[in-house]
Chains A and B, each alone.
Chain A
Amino acid sequence: MLKPKVKQNSVDLYFMDARSKLIDIAAFMDRVERDGLTDDFRYRAFKDALNQLDADKRAEAVLRALSDPTLEPIEAAITKAACGAWPEKPR
């Protein structure tokens, strides 16, 4: 594992950045609700992923919650793009 010789206070370093992103998330959710788009599968996945903030390894858990968990290759690629959430995730 890697550690700095002189450890800095990570709250000092990153609190303001995280605070700003947290408010952006809250504003995004307000916006989506105001626009009546809460049934979009990406938004549902987003809200599910928020539940992972209580997990042990939060970043990994959030990424997994937004991922295709299957292992079978798909028959054919009909698009090149990814959208950030797994469209087939059960409700």
Chain B
Amino acid sequence: MRYIEPHAHMVSRTTDDYLAMVVAGCKAVCEPAFWAGYDRSSVNGFYDYFRQLTDYEPKRAAMFGLPHFSWLCINPKEAEDLVLGREVIAMIPEFMGRENVLGIGEIGLNKNSRNELTILEEHVNLAAENNQLILVHTPHLEDKLKGTQLIVDLIKNDSRIDPGKVLIDHVEEHTVKYVMDAGMWGGLTLYPESKCTSPRAIDILESYGADRLWMNSACDWGVSVPLAVPYAAQEMRRRGYDDETVDKVFFHNPVKFLSQCENFTVRG
């Protein structure tokens, strides 16, 4: 099979993971900027992280013949500090022109606070002013329902943003309809304990269609599975889906969304 891994934090993963992904059929990996597990002490920490995402990590992936793309932002877990948030946002345009950058992400909300919303709005403004794709993280567990509604409403209220250029990630059964009804794309994240299992992700495809949904592993430094996407493809086959449908979900769908950014190219 062939697939795109549209959301993976490869800076946290080993070269063994790169090898396993390529052998499983991965044709491109996309890496959103995220929380490192601790708060950076200054904007300089983000400067170095953006260098890693746009310079070093693509080279590491290239050692395995895997195209690597990245998204830039300050993640919502560090957005409570408005001063730091604004310093990072001001620095992003310096990196936006780099050849592997897909857009602004993963922005969003974590605890649904006023400051998180302010920084989200300023990220959306940055994307609108620079015609960038947007990748959005929705909150965890009990905060997801409220956060997804706040995020979708905020983006819908900005008439400059084409909803077809926005992907709302980590949707589940209680949030997917709100995203689909807004004309945006949704991401199904395959985690062992939280977010979605493969069977539930396929249930959601069966309920809402496969036109604007993709699956990702969001593998990082926590409990996560870098091969979760091909495992989900195998689960689809077990349910009786043919290779053509599997290829649409795991290759064509992410390619369709990501190709809206001219930096994204992939060989089938």
Chief secondary structure at chain A's binding surface: loop
Contact (Cβ within 8 A) A73 B117: yes
Interfacial chain B residues near A20, Cβ < 8 Å? none
Q: A8's contact among B111, B142, B143, B238, by CB below 8 Å, is which?
A: B238
B interface residue count range (under 10 / 10 to 19 / 20 to 34 / 35 or more): 35 or more
Known: A6-B240, A76-B113. A59 touches B173 (CB 8 A): yes
Is B245 interfacial (CB-CB < 8 Å)?
yes
Contact (Cβ within 8 A) B112 A73: yes
Interfacial chain B residues near A67, Cβ < 8 Å? 142-146, 174
Q: Which of B111, B115, B199, B206 has the most CB of A within 10 A?
A: B111
Contact (Cβ within 8 A) B206 A77: no
Contact (Cβ within 8 A) A68 B242: no
Interfacial chain A residues near B173, Cβ < 8 Å? 57, 59-60, 63
Q: Which residue of B lies closest to A57 (CB)?
A: B173
Is B205 interfacial (CB-CB < 8 Å)?
yes
Known: A57-B173, A60-B174, A86-B142. A80 touches B110 (CB 8 A): yes
Interfacial chain A residues near B245, Cβ < 8 Å? 2, 4
A59 to B115, CA, bound (A): 31
Q: Per-position contact with B for A53-78: 1 when CB-CB < 8 Å, else 0? A: 00001011001101111110111110
Is A15 interfacial (CB-CB < 8 Å)?
no
Interfacial chain B residues near A70, Cβ < 8 Å? 146
Interface residues of A (CB under 8 A from B): 1-8, 10, 13-14, 57, 59-60, 63-64, 66-71, 73-77, 79-86
Interface residues of B (CB under 8 A from A): 35, 77, 80, 110-117, 139-146, 149-150, 172-174, 199-200, 203, 205-210, 236, 238-242, 245
